[in-house]
Amino acid sequence: MGQNRRVVVTGLGLITALGLDLNESWDGLVNGISGVTSVEKIDVSKLSCRIAAQINDFQPKDFIDFKASKRMDRFTQFAVKSSRDAIADSGLVIDDSNSHRVGVLIGSGVGGLGALEKQHTRLLDKGADKVSPFIIPMMISNMAAAHVSITSGAKGPVSATSTACAAGSNAIGDSFEIIKRGQADVMIAGGSEAAITQVGMSGFSNMNAMSSRNDDPEAASRPFDKDRDGFVMGEGSGMIIVEELERAKARGAKVYCEIFGYGMSGEAFHITALEKSGSNVARCMSLCIEEGDIAKEEVGYINAHGTATPLNDAIETKAIKKCFGEHAYRLKISSTKSMTGHCLGASGAIEAVVSIMVINQNIIPPTINLDNPDPVCDLDYTAKVRQKKNVEVALSNSMGFGGHNVTLGFKKYER
């Protein structure tokens, strides 16, 4: 127990529009492939945005008991799949000897929106007595964590975060702190989202937050570009196995990297917008770096929140300059939302996995579609093409509606 426990990452799981597992998704990311296509499974004909980064060919019956899968919303199915992959990748065996020291913490912005919509339609069409008795345990946003706990056997701390687009990052950061203070030895942590639904698409589109570049889906998500016109929604899940170092070493686990910091700050400003100075985001990054006793000049890469909305990208750029000063111009930055879309509550977890892979592979994924850089976005966003770079320290930024800022810090593991 105590505050000096070092925390490492020993397993990764990823499912995005680019692929159904870590290797497929990473391959798409480093090769600059867009996962954005036209939406055809639901009626979006009246919306200004009719595109999304959708996951196709996903068959839950391939890895979940069929009956159990029918009682899960899609976001929960994604979480079960990516967590199983992460557990397998880590070589972790959960049994009676350790299950009480293994926990689960998974974030989701909106939870089971698809299940809610389906049953609401049933209510209107067929009456109250025809609504599924499973609707509540399908839609509530803690059910990804619950089902991962049930399917894995993890009996340690089991919880969920729901801080909008920062939810996955908060889940990983909270897991880091839980292990540091000795409440668990291992946490299955991440985020999952499946909000490409009638209500999800309609709400964001009618807010004028999403791109209307419907005729060119692959070029629609363009963070930091002068012609950006909003985000493109994605879906998916990112999961990591967060583990106390000595335990990982004792079982001979491979170590992807060490987690060194977790910064949080609030905007106290607006329900959907960042405060324009960027000071709160800059403070969030600084707090993360300070926790790890890292010099700012050691940071080599930032996976930006980079949504491709006009305000977000300009303010995040300003915040990076405020935090890093002249070093901001030496940083490699990328927004992988240009390829995966914005996966809402899962985005921070997906991008944490990407940041960990950057440290592990020494490859920076590009920001695609950055054809005409915005003059106010004048940092190195790794435009269009991946770059080789030895990255010792990486940050991953997330910002959620309501003013939730999170920065996660990762560094190369040194014995």
Residues forming the active site: 165, 305, 342
> Structure tokens of 101?
């020291």
Q: Are 222 and 372 in contact (CB under 8 A)?
A: no
Q: Which helix (H) or strand (E) holds 240?
A: strand 236-244
Distance CA 8, CA 243 (A): 5
* Sequence-separated (6 or more) residues with CB below 8 Å from residue 223: 304, 306, 307, 308, 313, 335, 337, 338, 367, 369, 370, 381
Distance CA 27, CA 48 (A): 31
Distance CA 331, CA 333 (A): 6
DSSP string of 23-89? HHHHHHHHTT---EEE--SS--TTSS--EEE---S--GGGTS-HHHHTTS-HHHHHHHHHHHHHHHH
- Which residue type sits at 77? Q
Task: Tell me the β-bridge partners of 14.
Answer: 238
> Structure tokens of 117?
């919509």
Distance CA 301, CA 331 (A): 6
Q: Are 409 and 7 in contact (CB under 8 A)?
A: no
End-to-end CA distance of the chain: 20
Which residue is associated with the tokens 């979940």?
64
Q: Are 11 and 84 in contact (CB under 8 A)?
A: no
Q: How far is CA 323 from the centre of its chain?
A: 23
Residues in the chain, total: 415
Q: Are 237 and 352 in contact (CB under 8 A)?
A: no
